[in-house]
Every structure is written in C-alpha cells, then in structure tokens.
Amino acid sequence: MLRQPAAALRRNLRRPIAEGTTTPRARTSDTPRRTFLSRRDAKETGRPVENLNLGRLSQKSQEYERNRRVFLWSGAIAGIVSFCYTAYKLKQEISKPAKFDSDPSAPGADAADRKVVIHDEDGREIVATGNSTVPTFPRTIELPSYTAPGQATSPSSDPLQTPALSLSGATTEYTLVGLGLRTVTFIGIQVYVVGYYVATADIAALQSALVKTVNPIATTLVAGERDGLRGRLLDPVEGEQTWDELLARGIPARSAFRVVPVRDTDFHHLRDGFVRAIQGRAGPAAASDEIFGEAMRQFRAIFNRGSVQKRKELLLVRDEAGKLSIAFDDGAKGGKKKEEAAGSRKLIGIVDDERVSRALWLNYLAGKNVASEPARKNIVEGIMEFVERPVGTVATQVV
C-alpha cells in the first residue's frame, strides 16, 4: 500500500513538460538584487521619470529675481515721483495769495481775480505779492530819467564805485500793471518777485495800441473783444508777435521791470538767466551782428559784481529809444520816505542797443516759455483792466 504512491510519483517526474509552461530559473550571480532602497526601472514600474534641467531652473530663478528687482524699483520710483508731485501741488495751493473782489459790480469776467490795493502804515498804496519774504510791491514808483544827457553810458570800471542817482531833477511816475513769482526746477524753487511797471503818462498810448489790434475804430473793448485780446496775448505765437511789434514801435515808451529776490543770490546768477533769455529771443540774425555782440558784452560787464541779498531791488528800465538802464538798490540809504528810498538806487550801467531790452521784455511778456508764467498772466489781467476803460483814462486799481 505504501509503495504505490512512490511509484506514481516517479512516473509523474519522468513525464515531459507540456509546451507553453515555464519553470522557475535559478537566480544567477550576475542578476542584480533589488532592495527597497533601489530605484525601479521605468519599464518595471510603468511610471515616467522626470528629467531635471538644472541650467534651465537656474535661468528661471535669475529671471524671477531680475523681474522682482525691476518691479520693486519701479514701485519705489513711482512712490517718490508721486510724493514730490503731491508736495508740489500742495505748495502751489498754500502759496496762492488770498483773492478779494475789487468791485462785485465791475464789468468783466475777471472781476473776482482782482486784488484790492491797500495802504501801509505810511499811507502808501501797495499790492500783495503772495510771498512771505517780499509780501508787497508799491502800486506806483517814482523813477528819474536814467538815460538823461550827461550820464555815463557804460558800466563803471569799479563795480563798487557806482554813482548814486540824484533825484533833484524831474521824476516820472510808473504804475504797476502786473507781478508774479519767478520759480525754477520742477519743485518750484522761488527766486524773485518781478513786477511790470508802465509810465503812467504812457498808459493811454498802450491802451490805444492794444484796443486797435482788436477793433481799429474803438476806444474801449466790450466783453467779447476783451476775451479775444486776452487769448491773443496769452497765445505763445500771437502774443510774442503783438508785443514785439509794440516794443519795436516804442509802445509803451517808458516801462520797467522791478526784480526783488526772495533768497540771497548774486549778480552772476541773475546775469546768466538774463543772457539766456536775451539770446533765445533775439534770434540768429542778431547773434551774428557785431553791434549786438558788443551790446551783450557790455550787458555782461554790468553784472560783474558781487552778491544780491534778498529783498534788495534791481530795476530794469526801458526808455523811449529802447535804451536799457539797470539800477540797484542795496539799501545803504534805506528809509521809509519815498525820497530816501529812491535816493538809495544806484545806476550800474546802460545798454544802448534796443534789441537787448526788447528781447529781455519779451522774456516776461510773451512766448512759449516765459520767465514767470504767473507774472505774464497777471500782467495780461492788468492790461484787461486798462482796455475795458475808455482810452485816456488810467485804471484806479491794478492787478
């Protein structure tokens, strides 16, 4: 009974292996052994292997950092610019002078923009400038004839030895037309206050000439005509053409610019600004002219002197012939009386060439880039008050 299973087993082992079946193979020594830490082959696992490109990753990282720096710098610059612009606009609003209605019933759309002429403690008429350092300008000033015969027509050889002008002779009254503040750079650094004065006796001729540019047969302008003249004077091209023609004809015959610094400066700084303005307005023809070149050298020599303290007065006076007289008040004989204050002015030089004074006047009155846009606009508004009245009458209130 026990031998039959053994015989059956031997018979089964001798049978051939059926086709299609496999037998386990013994593991050879060259077959790698896989452990739980070894990496499975892609064919074995069926999952793709991510190929890492370190160079590309480094490049992307650098680009990210560069873009991040650009973004941060752009934000910082934008913040600084916006801060400066906001501060500038706030400064503009704070520095605006208070406006008063001179006469609510007065004709003209600009009545609300007129300032009241007030009186100081000595009873003199003054006009507010809106600047704390130079708060007021006199409504009228008395000036002698700086270019009268017998006076020097060239600057003194010694800048410190300039003759004081005597007021024993006749003087001429000048009336303030308009004023404004000269600023530089985009943040509006204040340099000086400038006022435009016209001889009171010559205002009628200026009225007539301006009225006739709009209506040749009129003696005064109505509201629509005044608006047309205002737009013409404020236009960069038409305004410069109008003033250039008037000044070439000697209208107004006598006028002056009063410059009062609001900070300490020097004559060289003022000279550089004036020279650039004259050269820019005179044109290429005058620049190549020897006579004009000599006049410019004379003009530069006049300003070959020292410092100019704030609140000191510099006068640029143009006479009937277009001669430019430059006077300076250093306050050496300063006083409250008109005669004492005027007596401290000293003539520092005269330039005969009419083109020099005309170009300097245009720098304040007209053109695309003027020395002081507030002054130009205020001068135009002052002129509007002149032309709304009949020719021959002087406005009782300016700016």
Q: Is the peptide bond before 135 cis (omega within 30 degrees of 0)?
A: no
Chain-centre distance of CA 145, in angstroms?
Answer: 35
**pLDDT surpassing 70 at residue 106:** no
Strand partners, 142: 173
- Angle in degrees, CA 72, 186, 177, rounded to 5: 160
Taken in order 99, 100, 102, 108, the sign of the CA dihedral is: positive
- Tens of pLDDT, residue by residue over 186-200, are 777 889 999 999 999
Q: Answer with the residue of higher pLDDT: 33 or 346.
A: 346
**Listed residue (293, 294, 311, 314) closest to 303, CA to CA:** 314
pLDDT of residue 217: 79
Tally of CB atoms within 10 A around 82: 10
Percent of the chain with pLDDT over 70: 70
Give percent of the chain with pLDDT exceeding 90. 40
pLDDT for res 303: 93
* Calpha distance 165→17 (Å, rounded): 141
Closest by CA to 164, choosing from 313, 317, 345, 328, is 345
Q: How far apart are CA 253 and CA 257, in angstroms?
A: 14
Q: Which position has the higher pLDDT, 62 or 47?
A: 62
Q: Report the alpha-carbon distance of residue 201 to residue 145 in Å, rounded.
A: 14
Of 241, 179, 230, whose CA–CA distance to 371 is shortest? 179
30 by Cβ neighbours in 10 Å (0-12 / 13-18 / 19+) ranks as: exposed
pLDDT digits (tens, 9 = 90+) for 2-30: 455 666 666 665 565 555 455 555 555 55
Label residue 39 by pLDDT band (50, 70, 90).
Answer: low
Comparing 321 with 116, which gets the higher pLDDT? 321
Give this prediction's pTM.
0.67
Annotate 331-395 with three-state secondary structure.
CCCCCCCHHHHHHCEEEEEEECCHHHHHHHHHHHHCCCCCCCHHHHHHHHHHHHHHHCCCCCCCC
Domain boundaries, the chain: 64-95, 100-387
Q: What is the pLDDT of residues 293-340, one digit of tens each?
A: 999 999 999 999 888 999 999 999 999 989 999 999 876 554 444 444
Quick check: 126 pLDDT over 50? Answer: yes
CB-based burial of residue 285 (10 Å sphere; 0-12 exposed, 13-18 middle, 19+ buried)? Answer: exposed
Least confident interval from 180-194, 361-375, 382-396: 382-396
pLDDT-wise least confident of 191-200, 281-290, 300-309, 385-394? 385-394
What CA–CA distance (Å, rounded) separates 287 from 195? 28
Residue 211 CB neighbour total at 10 angstroms = 23
pLDDT band at 108 (very low <50, low <70, confident <90, very high): very low
Q: What is the distance between the alpha carbons of residues 107 and 99, in angstroms, rounded to a whole number?
A: 17
Q: How far apart are CA 324 and CA 327, in angstroms?
A: 10
What span, in angstroms and rounded, lies between the C-alpha atoms of 166 and 189? 36
> Average pLDDT of the chain?
77
> Is the CB of residue 107 less than 8 Å from the CB of residue 223?
yes
Decide if pLDDT at 129 tops 80. Answer: yes
Predicted pLDDT at 13 = 56
**From the CB of residue 299, how many other CB atoms can be counted at a distance below 10 Å?**
23
pLDDT digits (tens, 9 = 90+) for 50-87: 566 788 888 888 999 999 999 999 999 999 999 898 88
Q: What is the dihedral of CA 32, 34, 37, 38, to 10 degrees?
A: 50
Given a cut of 80, whether residue 120 has pLDDT beyond it is no
Closest C-alpha to 399, from 64, 75, 175: 175
* pLDDT given for residue 396 in this prediction: 43
Confidence check: pLDDT of 255 > 80: yes
Q: Structurally, what CATH architecture does the domain formed by 100-387 represent? A: 3-Layer(bba) Sandwich (3.50)
Rounded to the nearest 10°, the torsion over CA 339, 344, 349, 355 is -50
Angle at 88 between CA 82 and CA 90, to 5 degrees: 100
The confidence score (pLDDT) of residue 285 equals 74
In the block, residue with structure tokens 């047969």: 217
What is the pLDDT averaged over residues 172-193?
Answer: 89
pLDDT band at 121 (very low <50, low <70, confident <90, very high): confident
